[in-house]
Structure 1
Amino acid sequence: MKKFLVLLISISSFLYSCSSKAQIYPDKDWTTNQNPSDTGWNDPERSTFNRYIIDSTNITGLVIVHKGEIVLEYGDIEENSYIASCRKSVLAILFGKYVENGQINLDKTLEDLKIEDHSPLLNIEKTATIKDVISARSGVFLPGSNGGDFRRLAPERGSVKPGSYWLYSNWDFNLAGHIFEQETNQDIYEDIEQQLVNPLQMQDWDKSLQLKNGNLDVSKFPAYHMWFSTRDMARIGLLMLRNGKWKREQIIPEDWIEAMTTQRTTYKEAQQNAPILKEDGLDLGYGYMWWLIENTSDYKLKNAYSAQGALGQNITVYPEIDVVLAFKTKSDYRRRNSIQTQMEVIKKAVEIYSPEKTN
């Protein structure tokens, strides 16, 4: 019996040590893996990828994180800059706490919420729920206060039932920000500090940079723009990868991480409604304001998902291989990357990972 207990304790200790080793988090600074070749990130492949970033993209900052440690970095990963539509995925994260405690009821309709814009909502549009809005399926095809969406592809207003049709529309996304603040009585940027910046020990966050804007003569709901550094974007990705847990604390409900990354729109429907998506280079479905990588034969990309923004802003999480990729392109430098380039980077970043070739 005594030998059995000793054996049991030994096994438990071993499993705990393995688990602990796999769950590395940054403190105030990131830990850099000093021997990435030992974990499958061999020097020749990393050098080739680095040369690709320099020669074939306009990326200004990039990090790859494996098992909580940086295995590759490029450019300036400290500077804050505009993250474009990645803001939507950040907002989605904030919802979880309030969905769990009941302050946000995803089944509330726009009529329940007393939502109106300059153009009155049609009766059918008023039946859209918060759930429809955050999955880009509201069926309300009004213009947003800022551009950069697929509204030009929208069918006639009132022609589809809310929840039945996907359209990437800034009206939905900006309204999601308004609903968040209305239902929680919280400012988005202050809540980012409370839920993300402070517990994740973000290094570069500057609240003074954060700014809502848009043409409020077009829509009452402004865009909630955000500025982050690449290495702080990677912290967000690591939080998602760890199912909302940071060190010993459950920051975001685990069920909400799953809800955000559950398919609400298939890649086939997304490509049918916005045919331009067929040219992206990866098949992308949609969850709650997160893009889902689908229809891939690469095991490294299985169940992967992304926050994506114009010009070249990206956080991609690869759950199957414990990897986070974050990169950005600072618009102030008048540099930009196409969506096709972003998809290439997402694929190439893990093509260089060869666990079978560890030293």
Structure 2
Amino acid sequence: MMAIDFPVDEVRHDEGWPASSWTMIDDIAAAGWSLERLNDAFHYAGSIATDAMMIVQGGREVASWGDITRRYNCHSIRKSFLSALMGPYVEDGTIDLSLTLEALGIDDVEGLSAVEKKATIYDLLTARSGIYHPAGYETPWMRAIKPPRHSQPPGTAWCYSNWDFNALGTIFAQLTGRGVHDALRDTIARPLGMEDFRHDDEHRDGWMVQDACSQHPAYPFAMSTRDLARFGLMYLRDGRWGPRQVIPAAWVATSVLPYSDAGARGSYGYMWWLARAGTGFPGVVQPEGSFSAQGSGGHFLVVIPPLDLVVVHRVDTAIPGRVVDRFQFGQLLRLILNARHAVNRR
């Protein structure tokens, strides 16, 4: 599939899209925000390890905190990037979700069993492969929840496993002939007019992480808060950016369906987290239809369609021990939503 570099100047501020830069909402009170309660949210952000945050409504910036131009490691948000990138290639037939690992010739260091090789691309995309082979770039939590090897056949049980996500990166490159980072630059970053993302001969905001335990490397990204907000806005608008359909709308819709129950973390779709009956983050009721991309240490991109809202939260996880946990972010998101709702309750 040929990547298309869409001209950013076709997107106009007055149509509810950022052009070369974000514009601020002129009157946040008129837009339904309580300035006093919004200040409460930012005061709380200042008391935890928040390093940058941005709130977008209607395609315009409501408020921000910290340096929203600084590129931070996105950690597991990389998986939602890959999910988006797969959409155009599934639509044009380059990627067939029914293909098995056996048909693709996918194996690993310890060898995959005949049963494991029956897992499909779809099983990996929904984190239901049943393959619990060692994987690189895993957090302690991910290693702790991984069941014993060969305990589940493909397609029967959900497990948030980096083996699935890393192997999908290998499969993407194999079927498309493109690296994940180059594909994101051409398919998403340029069409959306991302201001800070770089991936060329001089600067690499995407890299590969190998681990001896597996043949399939991780593919981290560094991205600024304001560029991540563009990605969230595109998903809020069903894969569209201005007049262009960047990611197929049907793919966006199916990506955020609840294929698996993720307990207190909500539900899981195509490498996106979904609110389930309001659950997802402790201490806050998310509006129905909310979904998010999440990265270790406090990286959150939350999309709330009923409120036309995108919230991005970042932490400088390059500093050892610097973390915003799910409980803290849940409290922060509750304060943000309270600020959004406050005017309407008066």
TM over 0.5: yes
Q: Is the 8 A contact 2:40 2:335 kept in 1?
A: no
More helix per residue: 1 or 2? Answer: 1
Q: Does 1:260 align with 2:255?
A: yes
For residue 358 of structure 1, report the CA deviation from its aligned partner: 9.3
CA deviations on 1:185-226 (whole Å, 9 max, x unpaired) are: 1111111111111110000112223211131x2001110010
2:123, 2:154 within 8 Å by CA — same for their partners in 1?
A: yes
The question of 1:352 aligning with 2:339 is answered yes
Does residue 53 (structure 1) correspond to residue 45 (structure 2)? The answer is: yes
CA separation of 1:119/1:295 partners in 2, compared to 1, >3 Å: closer, same or farther? same
Residue pair 2:130, 2:153 contacting (<8 A) in 1 also: yes
CA contact (8 A) 1:103 1:184 kept: yes
The equivalent position to 2:267 in structure 1, one of 271, 285, 297, is 285
Match of 1:159 in 2: 151
2:173 maps to 1:181: yes
Q: Is 1:339 paired with 2:330?
A: no
Is the contact between residue 22 and residue 67 of structure 1 (CA under 8 Å) also seen in structure 2? no
Alignment of 1:318 onto 2:296? no
Residues 34, 342 of structure 2: 8 Å contact kept: no
How far 1:23 moved relative to its partner?
A: 5.0
Sequence identity of aligned pairs in percent?
32
How far did residue 147 of structure 1 move? Answer: 1.8
Q: Which amino acid aligns with 2:63?
A: L
Amino acid corresponding to residue 243 of structure 1 in structure 2: D
**What CA distance in whole angstroms lies between the structure 2 residues aligned with 1:160 and 1:241?**
35
- Structure 1 residues 130 and 252 mapped into 2: Cα distance closer, same or farther (>3 Å)? same
Partner of residue 295 from structure 1, selected from 262, 274, 277:
277
Within 1, Cα distance between the matches of 2:91 and 2:138?
32
Specify the SS of the correspondent of 1:186: coil
Match of 2:186 among 174, 191, 194: 194
CA distance in 2, matches of 1:58, 1:22: 35
RMSD between aligned alpha carbons?
A: 2.0
Moved more, 97-106 or 345-354: 345-354
1:309 aligns with 2:309: no
Contact 1:316-1:346 at 8 Å conserved across structures: no
Q: Distance in 1 between matches of 2:13 and 2:107?
A: 51
Query: Are the equivalent residues in 2 in contact too, given 1:300–1:321 (CA < 8 A)?
Result: no
Query: How do 1:73-222 and structure 2 match up within 5 A?
Result: 73-148=64-139, 150-207=142-199, 208-215=204-211, 217-222=212-217
Distance of 1:21 and 1:118 partners within structure 2:
51
Aligned counterpart, 1:10: none
Report the counterpart of residue 5 of structure 2 in structure 1.
Answer: none
Q: Is the 2:13–2:23 contact (alpha carbons within 8 Å) kept by the matching residues of 1?
A: no
Using the TM superposition, give the Cα deviation of residue 152 of structure 1 relative to its aligned residue in structure 2, in angstroms: 3.0
Letter in 2 for 1:222: P
CA gap 1:85/1:337 in 2 versus in 1, 3 angstroms? same
Task: State the Cα deviation string for residues 228-276 of structure 1 (Å, max 9, x = none).
Answer: 000000000000000000000000000000111011102xxx33xxxxx
Show the counterpart of 1:234. Answer: 229
Q: TM-score, normalised by structure 2?
A: 0.89
The whole-number CA distance in structure 2 between the counterparts of 1:209 and 1:323 is 26
1:23 touches 1:67 (CA, 8 Å); kept in 2?
Answer: no
The structure 1 segments of at least 4 consecutive aligned residues displaced by more than 3 Å after TM superposition are 20-23, 297-300, 355-359
Q: How far off its partner does 1:88 sit? A: 0.5
Q: Return the alpha-carbon distance in structure 2 between the equivalents of residues 79 and 42 of structure 1.
A: 28
Taking a change above 3 Å as real, the CA distance of residues 300 and 124 of structure 1, as seen in their structure-2 partners, is closer
Unpaired stretches in structure 2, ≥5 consecutive residues: 1-11
Aligned partner of 1:244 among 239, 242, 258: 239
CA offset digits 1:125-183 (Å, max 9, x no partner): 11100011011100000011222152433333222221110111111110011111111
Aligned length: 325
Q: Structure 2 CA distance, aligned partners of 1:348 and 1:113?
A: 47
- Greater CA radius of gyration, 1 or 2? 1
